[in-house]
Amino acid sequence: MRRWFAALLALALTWAPRPAALAAEKVIVNYGVETELTTMDAQIVSDGTSYTIIENTMEGLTQFDKDSNVIPAIAESWDVSPDGLSYTFHIREDAKWSNGEPVRAQDFVFAWRRLADPRTGSETQFLMADTSGIKNAEAIAYRGADPETLGVKALDDRTLAVELDHPVPFFLSLLLFPSFYPANEAFFKAQGDRYGQGVENVLANGAFQLTYWDQGGSLSTVERNPYYYARDEVKVDGVSFVVIKDAQSALLAYQNGDVDKIALTGELVEQFKDDPECRIIDGSFLWYVLCNHKNKFLANPDFRLALAMGFDKQELCSGVLKDGSHPADYFVPSMLATGPDGKDFRDGAPTYLHYDKDKALEHWNAAKKALGFESVSLSLLVEDTESAIGVATYLQDALQKNLPGLTINLESMAKKARLQRERDREYELSLTRWGPDYADPMTYLDQFVSNKTKIGWTNAHYDEMIKEASSGKTALDPAARWQLMKDIEAELLKEAAVLPVYQKNSALLQKAYLTGIEEHASIGNLFKHATKAVNP
């Protein structure tokens, strides 16, 4: 089986039909990923692989340097008013799309209006509506206002003016997230429903451009973008994203030299932790279980609390994941953001929903009494990767053992299908994750306000606190806002509106000849400055 996979992968990487980027004379980074590319639409994207490819082919107004400091990107500079409510961005003259057309201020206006417009159906619309502070964004997203009233205007081709309702301390870092990338309106309209769905249906303005996409298959490739303003900084000719869902197969491909970088899971972490090419990276991705509150059982707080406390997170991390991941008795992860006191958000913050078999059983019996059941069966959605299925299987076994009468049925599917089921609220439980869009606790907390949550949970007090921390008087007081966000987390978890599971750390194998890949908490691997010294 392993020999067969290696042969198949070698064919995918070396035999026709193949993208031009894989020609022998070119320096290509082969990056092993667990999931397929699903879309190149920056306003629609919601999965990790697609984010990474978009982040390597597109740029927004700002970007990170290697130390995660915000620096200019498509905007060569900007001016901010003393009250923090007006931003003027100056678009660099040499910023171009991959068809040779200039990137204009109007491209940002079009993309941002589209992000705010509820007809777009973006999962990250809330970043515009609730997080950005841009004038009229909330009214457009939730109250039917005209998208053209959004507080963003092209003063000319190279000058973008943005007006906020209230100061947003992290506004510049928010703009490097793909949701705020530009879109060429004429090209977008010419593509119709095909926009972002194929090589011919997308433009790039970043270091690379998409050149090959085996849709539904195992390979996507990007190559140097000849129109990129900093093209001389790009050292490799391209990156191939090779989908390998099975960890053993990924390891085999790495050992054979077919891929240059992979993630390790489970027993493989223990096996390779002392290998000089192995690294453990602190991460800010939080894995948790969504509960559909429209389900009569999951609407009951005792039922949810029983689930939340009915499995041992430490045993899961040390016995199943084995990659340095931490139990999550919280929802805002550590190592995400530093407060006005210079301390990490988790430093001194309470924790919640610890594993407690006896207390879980108490809540379980209370739920049985209130709902009048002796047995119940629930389905748990899980994406079809080895690590996710391993976690879901552990949850299934532990909860069925500790909560008599409970049956958990696993439904394994591609990530795209799971995300759609969540959007449509056609699920009971779903194992999912959230990564930071920007370095602030609000990136985790504000996704559960009543008018946008995928869990069907309504909590007026929670909504009020989110609004106060985002746009009220407290938003202008850093210390008070920091404390309020801790109160918001407590409100979310006191009755287990969601079920946190673990904070993901990553164990990686990366060839010694591959250097310069930038890894940031809120965005994926960036290959612009990568160097591959050997092309085996």
d(C-alpha 27, C-alpha 6), whole Å: 21
Higher pLDDT, 241 or 9: 241
pLDDT of residue 458: 94
pLDDT of residue 158: 98
Q: Which of 510, 35, 29, 30 is nearest to 280 (CA)?
A: 510
pLDDT of residue 24: 52
Question: What is the per-residue pLDDT across 250-306, written as a single tens digit (0 to 9) for each?
Answer: 999 999 999 999 988 777 888 898 999 998 877 778 999 999 999 999 999 999 999
Q: Which of 211, 121, 132 is nearest to 168 (CA)?
A: 132
Q: Burial code of 258-295, b = ≥16 C-beta within 10 A, e = fewer?
A: bbbbbbbbbebbeebeeeeebeeeebbbbbbbbbbbeb
Averaged pLDDT for residues 348-373: 97
Asked whether the CA dihedral 363, 444, 65, 483 is positive or negative, the reply is: negative
pLDDT of residue 453: 81
pLDDT of residue 9: 46
Does 387 have pLDDT greater than 90? no
pLDDT of residue 8: 42
Does 1 have pLDDT greater than 50? no
Averaged pLDDT for residues 147-154: 98
Based on its alpha-carbon atoms, the radius of gyration of the chain, rounded to whole angstroms, reads 23
pLDDT of residue 20: 45
pLDDT of residue 74: 98
In the numeric block, the tokens 């602190």 are attached to: 282
pLDDT of residue 506: 80
d(C-alpha 403, C-alpha 310), whole Å: 7
Query: Quick one: DSSP state of residue 432?
Result: E
Question: What is the per-residue pLDDT across 441-496, written as a single tens digit (0 to 9) for each?
Answer: 998 998 899 877 889 999 999 999 998 988 788 887 889 999 999 999 999 999 99
> Which pair of tokens denotes residue 44?
């629609």
Is 185 in a helix, a strand, or coil?
helix
Higher pLDDT, 209 or 83: 209
Is 269 in a helix, a strand, or coil?
helix
> Taking all residues of the chain, what is their mean pLDDT, rounded to a whole number?
91
Does 330 have pLDDT greater than 80? yes
Averaged pLDDT for residues 90-100: 98
Averaged pLDDT for residues 201-209: 98
Confidence (pTM) = 0.74
pLDDT of residue 352: 97
Q: Tell me the residue ranges of DSSP E strands in 330-463.
A: 376-383, 406-413, 429-434
Question: What is the per-residue pLDDT across 9-29, written as a single tens digit (0 to 9) for each?
Answer: 444 444 334 444 444 579 999
